[in-house]
Amino acid sequence: MPMPMMMHAAPQPCPPPCAPVRSCPARTLLLVEDSHVAAEAVRAMFRHAGGRLRRADCLRDARRHLALYTPDALLVDIGLPDGSGLELIRLGERQRPRVPLILAMSGEPDMRDAALMAGADHFVTKPFASITAFCQLLAPVFGDPRGTGPRAPAPAPDEVALRTDLQLACDMLLGCTSGARQGYALQFTAALARSLGDAALTRAVHQARKDGNVTALALVLRQRLRNTALI
């Protein structure tokens, strides 16, 4: 007796493998800033811009970053412990591919022309007026700011960063062994005073520049340190 024939369904073609979903790489901001207070303020504001933040606190470390990659934006403080940020701006402008957006910042408004001549696209006076203004500067690269609200104010100084900067300024002033080092210490302290809106500390810096008595200024900084410890 013949066996009945078994009917087999035609094999179905395997579905094509799903194409991997490629996410756009996060755009990178390289921040070159020696002040912990200023760096933490930028870090807090940058959360609204979106992207990846990398930081260097001196020219040497910033050069290492630029030797490895080209950031999408470069934000450079002009007054750095091992030289002028203008040198780094020139480097970013000459780099190939060029850094798409180069921003210079300083507490000294009269540095604007030198920064633009070095190759900066924009110059900003520290401290930043608002989160909104900060994000708008980055908008050509990072797009419109997210969730900042109308003229969202800049964040208050981070307490830990503030104590770190006050102690650093005090140590630098008391440990100065050269005129150049003292000049940097005074510049750092003046920038810190401006970022805090501290008129008394600003006057103390002015007096130290006038009479060369950095010890009196260090005493003012120590008082500020005691006050922050009570917050």
The DSSP result for 92-158, as a single string, is HHHSSSPPSEEEEEES-GGGHHHHHHHT-SEEEESSPSBHHHHHHHHHHHH-S--S--TTPBPPPPP
User: Residue 29 belongs to what H/E stretch?
Assistant: strand 28-32
Q: How far apart are CA 164 and CA 222, in angstroms?
A: 12
pLDDT at residue 141 is higher than 50 = yes
pLDDT at residue 19 is higher than 60 = no
213 near 207, Cβ under 8 Å? yes
Domains of the chain: 28-142 (3.40.50.2300), 159-229 (no CATH)
Instruction: pLDDT band for 11, please (50, 70, 90 cuts).
Output: low
Residue 145 confidence (pLDDT): 65
Residue 6 confidence (pLDDT): 46
pLDDT at residue 173 is higher than 70 = yes
- Write out the two tokens for 106: 């300083």
12 near 23, Cβ under 8 Å? no
Instruction: pLDDT band for 30, please (50, 70, 90 cuts).
Output: very high
Please state the rounded mean pLDDT for residues 32-47.
Answer: 94
Please state the rounded mean pLDDT for residues 110-125.
Answer: 95
Q: How far apart are CA 35 and CA 137, in angstroms?
A: 20
Instruction: pLDDT band for 41, please (50, 70, 90 cuts).
Output: very high
Residue 144 confidence (pLDDT): 76
Residue 13 confidence (pLDDT): 54
Residue 227 confidence (pLDDT): 87
Closest by CA to 205, choosing from 218, 195, 222, is: 218
- What is the CB neighbour count within 10 angstroms for residue 53? 18
How confident is the model over 75-85, as pLDDT tens digits? 999 999 999 99
How confident is the model over 177-216, as pLDDT tens digits? 677 788 999 999 999 999 888 999 999 999 999 998 899 9
What angle is formed at CA 108 by the lines to CA 169 and CA 39, rounded to 5 degrees? 50
Angle between helices 131-142 and 36-49 (to 10 degrees): 60
